Amino acid sequence: MLPSPLSAQVTVWALLLAWLAVCVIFDLRSRQVPAFLTVLPLILAAIWQLIQGGWQLVALVALLVLISDLPKAKWRIPIACAATILSLSIPGSPGIVYAMLVVFAVWALWEIGASGGADAKIIITLVLFFSNGLLFIPIVLVGGVQGLVGLIAGRKTIPYTVAIVVGTVAWLWMISYSG
């Protein structure tokens, strides 16, 4: 007997949250997340996005990964801007457009050193998986609260995976509630 679509969705969300929980554990222990925990899900989410037809979003992510290896650092962000504008010119759903903007913003924050690579890859994986950049809003709002608490407590850095997991749970709750 085939599983119902609802139970399949619940299973996928449970697996997603379990993966995020493991990332949080590594982050809290060492402020690092092993590459296999971020690269493998990123590849799986890219394959999923290709199946969904969002090839332009996957192409943008692949381009940004390649651009990050350009030898001249000062050219990386301008070239990434051009790649993003080019990707945005390809017709797509509003969700894909937001997703592209978020992917670029997250990558750019990593490129200027404002964010960790593991955090950036996890957020991009989630955006690829849900095909919607609006997921970024609850994550950054929770991150803002976490940052504020960090500042009050006198901590210079925060484990951002906590904001990612709490923001994702809030996002899942919102999309479940809105049907």
Distance between CA 136 and CA 126 in Å, rounded? Answer: 9
110 in contact with another protein (CB under 8 A): yes
Residue from 49, 87, 125, 146 in contact with another protein (CB under 8 A) = 146
- Which residue among 16, 20, 99, 121 contacts another protein (CB under 8 A)? 121
**Residue 117 interacts with another protein (CB under 8 A)?**
yes
Q: Does 145 participate in binding another protein (rule CB under 8 A)?
A: yes
| 91, 157, 177, 178: residue in contact with another protein (rule CB under 8 A) | 157
155 binds another protein (CB under 8 A): yes
Q: Which residues contact 49 (CB under 8 A, 6 or more apart)?
A: 55, 57, 58, 128, 129, 131
Q: Distance (Å, rounded) from C-alpha 123 to C-alpha 99? A: 11
Distant-in-sequence, close-in-space partners of 23: CB < 8 Å, separation ≥ 6: 33, 37, 38, 118, 122, 161, 164, 165
Number of neighbours of residue 117 by Cβ within 10 angstroms? 14
Does the footprint of another protein cover residue 31 (CB under 8 A)? Answer: yes
**Residue with Cβ nearer another protein (95 or 117):** 117
Site for another protein in 39-78 (CB under 8 A): 39, 42, 64-65, 68-69
Interface residue with another protein, options 115, 125, 132, 168 (CB under 8 A): 115
Binding residue for another protein, selected from 77, 79, 137, 172, defined by CB under 8 A: 137
Amino acid 133 reads G
Task: Tell me how far apart the alpha carbons of residues 90 and 27 are, in angstroms, rounded to a whole number.
Answer: 37
Using an 8 Å Cβ cutoff, are 93 and 12 in contact?
Answer: no
Q: Which residue lies nearer to another protein by CB, 85 or 148? A: 148
- Pick the closest to residue 124 from 97, 104, 154 (CA basis): 104
Q: How many residues bind another protein (CB under 8 A)?
A: 46
Binding stretches for another protein (CB under 8 A): 23, 26-27, 31-35, 38-39, 42, 64-65, 68-69, 107, 109-110, 114-121, 136-137, 140-141, 143-148, 150-151, 155-161, 163
